[in-house]
Amino acid sequence: MPIARSQFILALLLLAAWLPRTAAGQDAGEAPAGIPVENPTVIEACGICHATDDPRILSRISYRRTTPEGWQRTIRRMVTLNDMALDADEAREIVRYLSNDLGLAPEEARAGAFEVERRAIEFAYEADLDTEDTCRACHSMGRILNQRRTKEEWELVVAMHRGYYPFADRQGFLEDGMVGREAPAADETPRRRHPMNRAIDHLAEVFPLHTSAWAAWSANVRPPQLAGTWAVSGHHPGRGPVFGQMTVTAVAGADAEFTTEASLVYPQSGESVTHAGRAIVYTGYQWRGSSDVAIEDTAWRQVMFVERDWNEISGRWFRGVGDEIGLDVTLTRSDAGAAPVVAGVHPRALRLSAEGEVQIHGANLPAPLAPADVDFGAGVEVTEVVSAAPGLATVRVAVSAGAAVGARDLRVGRGRAARALVVHDRVDRIEVEPSRGMARVGGVVAAKQYQQFHAVAWHDGPDSEAGTGDDLNLGVLEPTWSLEEYSATYGDEDLRYVGAVDQTGLFTPAVDGPNPERNGNRNNIGDVWVVASFTPDGRDTPLRGRALLVVTVPVYMQFDSWEVGR
Amino acid sequence: MKHLKPVNQKADRVERHIEVEAGARGDVVALQQGPLRPDAAVPLGCSFVFFPGWEVDVEGGTAGLCSPVERDLFDCHLGCFWPAQVPDQLNHAPDWTASCASAQKDWRKIDLIFP
């Protein structure tokens, strides 16, 4: 029985190879202790499968920390793929407990904040190329930055992906699926370790379960007391600057739960909106809320970061199938009787020799207000206070012809806003942001994914060179928007099919599905330039800025739907 | 192209294309295989590293994608090829094709999966 003998020898060899490793692992006592779970709902719901000898230590769960979104995603997977039975209240309690007690410290969550705020920012993970290549083929690096695990746990999460998404193994984890991979280093054999394994080594070292930041934060964390009045300032691409006030009320009988009522004003259009919502603050600082605007049919999500002093909260409110419509907001505590808060001004920039009205938005602004209380610095004279209320003062200003070009701090009584107003002598260029955008066709099978653009006016600064650190941001414009062909191939006529941009810079893609009018029944996808054109005062010809827009196909798996704010 | 005169339709199209291109950018970028150019304008959120990319091809545009996407969609499903974009038949949506025999024809019946 030569085959049986050779199998026996092979088994012995494998055992020999395995034994010392196991023994070494045990002797060194390397396995970090898990984090005990004290919540009965979690133990009852998760402990059936994740039981260990210690009833408070759950396998997998006790060895991982992450954001509310990370825990929600896992629980959802347990329900959809592992037939876990859970009602909504239990799921909420589990997400809340795990986010609070197996969460991230504020210092740990900053780097991956763009992921939970659903920002499409350019992010390069430079610490390890293997990790970036392995993970980013399917998802944003933000997902990884928001995880802390033991080495074994990192190995298991990779194994989970290989099991559930078998083809991803070749595409993402192993070498032959990678594009642009660097050549093996000279000292490595051709049969080098898989990038996947090198990524695990890296992740275990850089994102371990136990950190001093978490030890310090988990000892100190408490439900934040955020009830009160907050001054809101922000920027809403497509609608310009936004200011207002938010009243936060604690929900009786619940820790870290609030109802919110925000009144916002868009000075560019004069429009006012009211957001009525609710929020939960996880881990003492992670604001997750939702709000409704009366005239709109879908809710906004609020993802914000509460600063340690409980005096500032900032983040993003957003909605849309790809979370693509959103505004950046900063909330500053402005309870009655407290010091004035100057949130910002509109317009943001004035030319030399200009005269006009400037709105000053804030909270607790002095009323009545004298021109002498408002100080824009030398060369910008406040000639008249047109109106004054605690939330909004309107003043008339005159900029002298010889004023220095540059940004000015604004002081109103004891309140101050840094670089609130820019005095300039010309507009040098306009830039369309984002410089690269993506929309997805939709309307039949999938929902349309929009892309909002906005245009910013710039002064090149004292060095008269564009793109340097001294450039002056003159604020958002209301340009004329249009689309132009981005030539990628012959006669694709993308411009005719992909969709349209409106005069707020919002691109609406065309319908999904094959288009019989196009060559090869091509979808209504394509690449176009989005062009903003604007003629500032003092110029005869318009300034133009443009951004690349890719209008592409829908995704048929929609992983990103969130309940953590409800 | 000053010294060349197009003598057939294709050459004529090349010339017209270059005229259009002059105001845009200096090269014809799509329909070429090769590594991603370092300056390729890939919008954020696009996955382009697979062959082909889902949102964009390796050059950052849509010209090199399988289109219409419905033509190849069920093959991606059966082969579990696009784990983050197309439901796989092993775990997330074993019956995805049940209500729709041919994605290209019955594409309105395709379900979205919320895993």
Identity of residue A416: R
> Does A19 score more than 60 pLDDT?
no
> Does A410 score more than 80 pLDDT?
yes
Q: At what angle do helices A129-136 and A195-206 cross, to 10 degrees?
A: 110
* HSE-CB of B19 using CA atoms within 13 angstroms: 9
Q: Residue B60 domain-assigned?
A: no
Average pLDDT along chain B, 115 residues, taken 10 residues at a time: 79 77 47 44 59 76 87 85 85 86 85 83
| A chain contacts of residue B79, beta-carbon cutoff 8 Å | 167
pLDDT tens for residues A255-274?
Answer: 999 999 999 999 999 999 99
- Lowest mean pLDDT segment, chosen from A73-82, A549-558, B15-24: B15-24
The two structure tokens encoding residue A431: 């830039």
- Taking residues A509-513, report their average pLDDT: 96
Number of CB atoms found within 10 A of residue B10's CB:
10
Note the pTM of the prediction, 2 decimals: 0.86
- B18 to chain A: nearest residue by CA? A487
pLDDT tens for residues A96-150?
Answer: 999 999 999 999 999 999 999 998 887 888 898 888 888 887 778 899 999 999 9
Residues 34-73 of B with CB under 8 A from A: 35-36, 41-47, 49-51, 54-56, 58-63, 65, 67-71, 73
Instruction: State the catalytic residues of B.
Output: 72
Q: Which of A494, A527, A557 is the closest to B84 by Cβ? A: A557
Inter-chain contact B30–A489, Cβ cutoff 8 Å? Answer: yes
Inter-chain contact A487–B69, Cβ cutoff 8 Å? Answer: no
Q: What was the ipTM of the complex prediction?
A: 0.78
Question: Of the spans A16-25, A482-491, B30-39, which averages the highest pLDDT?
Answer: A482-491
Inter-chain contact A548–B29, Cβ cutoff 8 Å? Answer: no
Can you tell me the distance from the alpha carbon of A273 to that of A270, in angstroms, rounded to the nearest whole number?
A: 10
Q: Residue B86 domain-assigned?
A: yes
> Does A157 score more than 90 pLDDT?
yes
- A562 to chain B: nearest residue by CA? B114
Number of independent structural domains in chain B: 1
Domain of residue B111, residue span: 66-115
Interface check for B29 against chain A (CB to CB < 8 A): the answer is: yes
Number of CB atoms found within 10 A of residue A533's CB:
17
Tell me how many helices (H) and strands (E) chain A has.
Answer: 13, 28
Three-state SS at A394: strand
Q: Residue B25 domain-assigned?
A: no
- Taking residues A275-297, report their average pLDDT: 94
| Long-range Cβ pairs for the range A494-498 (8 Å, 24+) | A494/A525, A494/A526, A494/A527, A494/A528, A494/A551, A494/B62, A495/A526, A495/A528, A497/A522, A497/A524, A497/A526, A498/A441, A498/A524, A498/A525, A498/A526, A498/A528, A498/A549, A498/A551
pLDDT tens for residues A352-380?
Answer: 999 999 999 999 999 899 999 999 999 99
Q: Residue B53 domain-assigned?
A: no
Identity of residue A345: V
Per-residue HEC secondary structure of chain B comes to CCCCCCCCHHHHHHHHHHHHHCCCCCCCCCCCCCCCCCCCCCCCCCCCCCCCCCCCCCCCCCCCCCCCHHHHHHHHHHCCCCCCCCCCCCCCCCCCCCCCCCCCCCHHHCCCECC
Inter-chain contact A557–B73, Cβ cutoff 8 Å? Answer: no
E strand spans, A42-182: 64-66, 147-149
DSSP H/E element including A7: helix A2-28
The two structure tokens encoding residue B38: 């370092």
Interface test with B, best of A167, A495, A497, A515 (most B CBs within 10 A): A167
Dihedral pair phi/psi, residue A479, rounded to 5°? -85, 180
pLDDT of residue A190: 44
Q: Residue B41 domain-assigned?
A: no
> Does A467 score more than 60 pLDDT?
yes
pLDDT of residue A565: 66
Residue among A314, A219, A286, A323 nearest A71 (CA): A286
Interface check for B87 against chain A (CB to CB < 8 A): the answer is: yes
pLDDT of residue A186: 53
Please say whether the beta carbons of A409 and A417 come within 8 A: yes
> Does A29 score more than 60 pLDDT?
no
The two structure tokens encoding residue A326: 């959103």
| A chain contacts of residue B56, beta-carbon cutoff 8 Å | 550, 552
- Lowest mean pLDDT segment, chosen from A147-156, A398-407, A487-496: A487-496
The two structure tokens encoding residue A344: 């910002």
- Lowest mean pLDDT segment, chosen from A72-86, A158-172, A546-560: A158-172
> Does A527 score more than 50 pLDDT?
yes
Can you tell me the distance from the alpha carbon of A566 to that of A177, in angstroms, rounded to the nearest whole number?
A: 40
Can you tell me the distance from the alpha carbon of B60 to that of B27, in angstroms, rounded to the nearest whole number?
A: 13
Three-state SS at A179: coil
Q: Residue B46 domain-assigned?
A: no
Q: Which residue has the higher pLDDT, A348 or B112?
A: A348
pLDDT of residue A13: 46
Contacts of A533 (CB under 8 A, 6+ apart): A479, A480, A481, A482, A542, A543, A544
Inter-chain contact A523–B55, Cβ cutoff 8 Å? Answer: no
Q: Residue B112 domain-assigned?
A: yes
